[in-house]
A and B are shown apart, each in its own frame.
Chain A
Amino acid sequence: MITIKNLHANIEDKAILKGLNLEVKAGEVHAIMGPNGAGKSTLASILAGKEDYEITEGSVSFDGEDLLEMETEDRAREGLFLAFQYPVEIPGVSNINFLRTAINEKREHLGEDPISAKDFMALVREKSKLVELDAKLASRSVNEGFSGGEKKRNEIFQMAMLEPKLAILDETDSGLDIDALRIVANGVNTLKSDNNATIVITHYQRLLDYIVPDFVHVLYDGRIVKSGPKELALELEEKGYDWIKEELVEA
C-alpha cells in the first residue's frame, strides 16, 4: 500500500524527519507512537501533501505510484485520507455540501458519474449511524461550533463516506472520553478490510485496546527507532519513552 524509504524532511531549515522507513501493506493496521514533537504529525502532513515542508531525501510509493509527485487533491482522490489532529472549521459550508463536493471530485477523477442525491443521502444515513453522529451535525457547517469530540467523530464520518484505501488517524483519540473512543474505534474497525490499511498515530496506549494494531512503531527524533507487535504498546505505556532513549544511547 505504502512504502516510505529513508525520508528526510525540513521545515524552515530545521530537520524534522531524519531517515524514516515504513512499509504498510493492505489489510494492516499500524500504530505509530512517540513523544510530543517527535515528528508524527509532520509525517502525516507530508504524506497528505502539505506544502510547508522541504523533502531533502527519500521516497514514498503509494499503490505503486510516486506519492511525492502527486498533487495534494489527487492523493486524496486516489484514496489517501488524513483524519486531522485539529480539524478546521469552515463556516457557512454544510458538512453535506462539503462531502458531496469531495465525493464527486473523487468520482470525476476516477471517471465516474456524480453521485445521485438519493444515493448520497442514503450513504449519509448509513455512515452517520456508524459513528453515531447526530443527523443535525451532518447538516451543520463543517466543524463549526462542534465540540472536540464531535470534530473527531466527524473526521471518522468523513472517512466512512470517502472509503479511503489508506487512512491516517492523527491523534484521533486525544480529547475523547471513553464512550467517544469506543465509537470512533468501532467505526475504524467496521471499515477495515483486506483492501485498505490504517495508520493510527497516538501517544496513548488506550486507543490500541480498541483498535488492535498488527504492528507498533516508535517514532523518535524523526526516525522509526523501534517496531514490534501490539505488545510493544503496553511496554511503552509501562516504561515510558525514556526507556527507548536509553536503548538508543546504548546502541
Chain B
Amino acid sequence: MATYTEDDLAKDLEGKEYEFGFTTDIESDKAPKGLNEDIIRFISAKKEEPEWMLEFRLDAYRTWLEMTEPEWAHVRYDKPDFQDITYYAAPKQSKKYESWDDVDPEMKETMSKLGISMEEQKRLTGVAVDFVMDSVSVATSFKAKLKELGIIFCSFSEAVQEYPELVQKYMGTVVPKQDNFYAALNSAVFTDGSFCYIPKGVRCPMELSTYFRINESGTGQFERTLVVADKGSYVSYLEGCTAPQRDENQLHAAVVELIALDDAEIKYSTVQNWFPGDKEGKGGVFNFVTKRGMCHTNSKISWTQVETGSAVTWKYPSCVLKGDNSIGEFYSVAVTNNFQQADTGTKMIHIGKNTKSTIISKGISAGQSQNSYRGLVQIHKNAENARNFSQCDSLLMTDRCGAHTFPYIECKNSTAKIEHEATTSKIGEDQIFYCLQRGIDEEKAISLIVNGYAKEVLNQLPMEFAVEAQKLLTISLEGSVG
C-alpha cells in the first residue's frame, strides 16, 4: 500500500455537518480509515517517534492480528469494524501551547460546552489539567509549578520525546501489549494520552487532571496513561471523559498503567460520561478499557470510578499487590439507563504478604439496561495473611433492567481472609412517596436516594469531582423510575 500524501489527507479533511451534539471546527489532521502496518507507520511518523516506539507498536499489531475479540462479558453489541475506523485524527495545529492563554478560543469554547470551566477549575481548585482531544494533548497547565518539584506531567507523546528512558522503562510493564485484544490494539495505534512521574518522596500538591474527549466523527480514541509514583511519593489523579452525541458507535480503547513503587500512593479517580446512545439504544461509545496498577512494598493504589456514560462498558481497574503490605482499593458506581450495558469490576491479585484489598461496587440500573459486576480476588501461594473485603450492591430502578454479579475467588493460601457481601434492592415507591410527602419533588427524591446509595464511593472522590459526579448521577437517571 502506498503512503498517504498531504493531498490524500486533504480529501479527508472536508468539514462535515453534524446532526447531533456539537463538534469543534478545527480542521482535522486525519489518517484514512482502516488498519494495517502502513497506518501504524503513518501514526508513528506523524508523531516523529523514535524507532523503539514504532517497534513496540508493530509488535503489538502483529500480536493483535492473532487475537480474537473477547466474548465472555455479559454484553451484546455489533462488533466494531476495525477497517472502518480512523486511527489518527489530530487537531490541525502545529504549534504547542506554552500557557493556557495561548489555547485556541474555539477549543476553550468546546471545553465550556463540556461543562468544564478550566478558568474556574484553575482558580477554585488549582487543578492542573492535561486536555486530550481526539487523542492529542493540547494543553497542559501548571507545568512550571510542578516542574519545580520535579514532577513530570505531560502528554504521552511529549514523554516519548522528552523522557524516553522513563517511558521505555515502565510502558507495558503492567499491561503488556499482548495482555488482551483491546490492550494490544491500543498498543499498536494509540495516538496520545498522559504521562505522569512523581519523584521520590514528593507529595504532589494538587490534583492532576486529564479530560478526554472524542470529537471527530468515525474516529476511535486510543489513549494511554502512564503514572509512575516513585518511592514514598503521593499523587491524586483525575480523569474525566466525555463525547458528543453521534448516531454511530465510537470505539474507545484505552490503556492505563499505574506503578506505585515502595511506600508510594496513587489515587486514581474517573468520571466517565461518554455518550451512552439515545433512548432507543442507537449510537454511543464502546468503552473497552484496560486499567491496572502495580503495587510495590507498602504501597497503595486506589481506583475510584463513577461510570454513567457509554453504550457498552467493559472495564476492570485492577491492582497487582506484588509487594508485601501493599493495599489495593476499588470504589465504583456504575449507572446504566435505557439500553446501556456495563460489565465492570476489578481484579485484586494478592502476591505479597499481608496484602489488603477492598472492593465497593454500587451498580444502578434503569430503563432496559444491563449492569454487571465482575470481580476476581486471587490469593497466590505466598500471600500470607492476605485480606479482602468485597461489597457489591445493585439498585434497580425499573422491572425491565438487569443486575448481575459475577464474583470469582481463587485462593491458594489458607491464611487468607476473604469476605464478600452482596445485595440487590429496588428503588422503593414508598421511599419516593416519603420524600414527596415531605415536599421534595420526584427528581430531587431520586437524586437524594441514589446519591445516598452511592455515598461510600462518592466520598472517595476529591471534593470538586464529587459535586460533578452527584449531578451526573442525577442527570443520567432523569425520569427513570418505573
User: Which residues of A are interface residues toward B (Cβ below 8 A)?
Assistant: 48-50, 72-77, 81-82, 84, 87-93, 97-99, 101-102, 105-106, 109, 141, 158, 162
Main DSSP-derived SS at the B contact region: helix
Instruction: Decide: B436 and A76 in contact? CB cutoff 8 A.
Output: yes
Distance in Å from the Cβ of B159 to the closest Cβ of chain A? 41
Kindly state the separation between the CA atoms of A89 and B428 in the bound complex, as whole angstroms.
10
Kindly state the separation between the CA atoms of A235 and B444 in the bound complex, as whole angstroms.
46
List 14 additional contacts besides A73-B441, A73-B442, A99-B438; criterion CB under 8 Å.
A50-B433, A73-B437, A73-B439, A73-B440, A88-B428, A89-B431, A91-B453, A92-B451, A92-B455, A97-B448, A98-B438, A101-B440, A105-B438, A141-B452
Main DSSP-derived SS at the A contact region: helix
Please judge, given known A-B contacts A72-B436, A90-B431, A98-B438, whether A105 and B444 are in contact too, CB under 8 Å: yes
Kindly state the separation between the CA atoms of A214 and B449 in the bound complex, as whole angstroms.
39
Distance in Å from the Cβ of B293 to the closest Cβ of chain A? 28
In the complex, chain A residues whose CB is within 8 Å of the CB of B163: none
Kindly state the separation between the CA atoms of A49 and B440 in the bound complex, as whole angstroms.
13
Distance in Å from the Cβ of A134 to the closest Cβ of chain B? 21
Kindly state the separation between the CA atoms of A49 and B454 in the bound complex, as whole angstroms.
29
Of the residues B433, B453, B456, contact of A72 by C-beta under 8 Å: B433
Distance in Å from the Cβ of B220 to the closest Cβ of chain A? 38
B442-482 residues with Cβ-Cβ distance < 8 A to A are 442, 444, 448-449, 451-456
In the complex, chain B residues whose CB is within 8 Å of the CB of A102: 435, 438-440
Kindly state the separation between the CA atoms of A93 and B441 in the bound complex, as whole angstroms.
16
B69 at the binding interface (Cβ < 8 Å):
no
Kindly state the separation between the CA atoms of A91 and B454 in the bound complex, as whole angstroms.
10
Of the residues A82, A84, A92, A162, contact of B452 by C-beta under 8 Å: A92
Instruction: Decide: A162 and B428 in contact? CB cutoff 8 A.
Output: no
Instruction: Decide: A49 and B436 in contact? CB cutoff 8 A.
Output: yes
Which residue among A84, A91, A99 has the maximum number of chain B CB atoms within 10 Å of its CB? A91
Which residue among B433, B437, B440 has the maximum number of chain A CB atoms within 10 Å of its CB? B437
B456 — nearest CB in chain A belongs to which residue?
A: A92
In the complex, chain A residues whose CB is within 8 Å of the CB of B434: 84, 87-88, 90
In the complex, chain A residues whose CB is within 8 Å of the CB of B428: 88
Instruction: Decide: B444 and A72 in contact? CB cutoff 8 A.
Output: no
Kindly state the separation between the CA atoms of A87 and B438 in the bound complex, as whole angstroms.
12
Of the residues B430, B431, B433, B448, contact of A101 by C-beta under 8 Å: B448
Instruction: Decide: A98 and B433 in contact? CB cutoff 8 A.
Output: no
Instruction: Decide: B439 and A92 in contact? CB cutoff 8 A.
Output: no
A86 — nearest CB in chain B belongs to which residue?
A: B430
In the complex, chain A residues whose CB is within 8 Å of the CB of B436: 49, 72-73, 76
3 tightest CB-CB pairs across the interface, nearest first? A92-B452, A93-B452, A76-B439
Kindly state the separation between the CA atoms of A73 and B436 in the bound complex, as whole angstroms.
5
B436 — nearest CB in chain A belongs to which residue?
A: A72
Instruction: Decide: A72 and B437 in contact? CB cutoff 8 A.
Output: yes
Distance in Å from the Cβ of B445 to the closest Cβ of chain A? 9
Kindly state the separation between the CA atoms of A74 and B437 in the bound complex, as whole angstroms.
9
Kindly state the separation between the CA atoms of A127 and B434 in the bound complex, as whole angstroms.
20
Distance in Å from the Cβ of A17 to the closest Cβ of chain B? 19
Instruction: Decide: A91 and B437 in contact? CB cutoff 8 A.
Output: no
Instruction: Decide: A48 and B437 in contact? CB cutoff 8 A.
Output: yes
In the complex, chain A residues whose CB is within 8 Å of the CB of B431: 88-90
Instruction: Decide: A162 and B438 in contact? CB cutoff 8 A.
Output: yes
A89 — nearest CB in chain B belongs to which residue?
A: B431
Distance in Å from the Cβ of B182 to the closest Cβ of chain A? 34
Of the residues B430, B437, B449, B454, contact of A82 by C-beta under 8 Å: B437
Kindly state the separation between the CA atoms of A162 and B448 in the bound complex, as whole angstroms.
18
In the complex, chain A residues whose CB is within 8 Å of the CB of B437: 48-49, 72-73, 75-76, 81-82, 84
A51 — nearest CB in chain B belongs to which residue?
A: B433
In the complex, chain B residues whose CB is within 8 Å of the CB of A74: 439
Name 11 interchain pairs, CB-CB below 8 A, sorted by A.
A72-B433, A73-B436, A73-B437, A76-B437, A76-B438, A88-B428, A88-B430, A91-B452, A91-B453, A101-B448, A109-B439
Kindly state the separation between the CA atoms of A84 and B455 in the bound complex, as whole angstroms.
26
Distance in Å from the Cβ of A1 to the closest Cβ of chain B? 18
Kindly state the separation between the CA atoms of A108 and B424 in the bound complex, as whole angstroms.
35
In the complex, chain B residues whose CB is within 8 Å of the CB of A76: 436-439
In the complex, chain A residues whose CB is within 8 Å of the CB of B444: 101, 105
Distance in Å from the Cβ of A68 to the closest Cβ of chain B? 15
Kindly state the separation between the CA atoms of A106 and B435 in the bound complex, as whole angstroms.
12
Which residue among B430, B433, B439 has the maximum number of chain A CB atoms within 10 Å of its CB? B439
In the complex, chain B residues whose CB is within 8 Å of the CB of A92: 451-456
In the complex, chain A residues whose CB is within 8 Å of the CB of B440: 73, 98, 101-102, 105
B438 — nearest CB in chain A belongs to which residue?
A: A102
In the complex, chain A residues whose CB is within 8 Å of the CB of B433: 48, 50, 72
In the complex, chain B residues whose CB is within 8 Å of the CB of A87: 434
Instruction: Decide: A98 and B448 in contact? CB cutoff 8 A.
Output: yes
Distance in Å from the Cβ of A90 to the closest Cβ of chain B? 6
Instruction: Decide: B449 and A90 in contact? CB cutoff 8 A.
Output: yes
Kindly state the separation between the CA atoms of A158 and B435 in the bound complex, as whole angstroms.
12
Kindly state the separation between the CA atoms of A101 and B441 in the bound complex, as whole angstroms.
10
Kindly state the separation between the CA atoms of A102 and B433 in the bound complex, as whole angstroms.
13
In the complex, chain A residues whose CB is within 8 Å of the CB of B451: 92-93
Kindly state the separation between the CA atoms of A138 and B449 in the bound complex, as whole angstroms.
17
B442 — nearest CB in chain A belongs to which residue?
A: A73
Distance in Å from the Cβ of A30 to the closest Cβ of chain B? 20
Distance in Å from the Cβ of A146 to the closest Cβ of chain B? 14
Kindly state the separation between the CA atoms of A162 and B437 in the bound complex, as whole angstroms.
11
Instruction: Decide: B452 and A106 in contact? CB cutoff 8 A.
Output: no
B455 — nearest CB in chain A belongs to which residue?
A: A92
Distance in Å from the Cβ of B327 to the closest Cβ of chain A? 24
Distance in Å from the Cβ of B429 to the closest Cβ of chain A? 8
In the complex, chain A residues whose CB is within 8 Å of the CB of B456: 92
In the complex, chain B residues whose CB is within 8 Å of the CB of A90: 431, 434-435, 448-449, 452
Kindly state the separation between the CA atoms of A137 and B456 in the bound complex, as whole angstroms.
19
Instruction: Decide: A93 and B438 in contact? CB cutoff 8 A.
Output: no
Kindly state the separation between the CA atoms of A19 and B354 in the bound complex, as whole angstroms.
71
Distance in Å from the Cβ of B439 to the closest Cβ of chain A? 4
Which residue among B431, B440, B456 has the maximum number of chain A CB atoms within 10 Å of its CB? B440
A82 — nearest CB in chain B belongs to which residue?
A: B437
Instruction: Decide: A77 and B439 in contact? CB cutoff 8 A.
Output: yes
B433 — nearest CB in chain A belongs to which residue?
A: A50
Which residue among A72, A76, A81, A109 has the maximum number of chain B CB atoms within 10 Å of its CB? A72
Instruction: Decide: B455 and A105 in contact? CB cutoff 8 A.
Output: no
Kindly state the separation between the CA atoms of A98 and B448 in the bound complex, as whole angstroms.
8
Distance in Å from the Cβ of A156 to the closest Cβ of chain B? 14
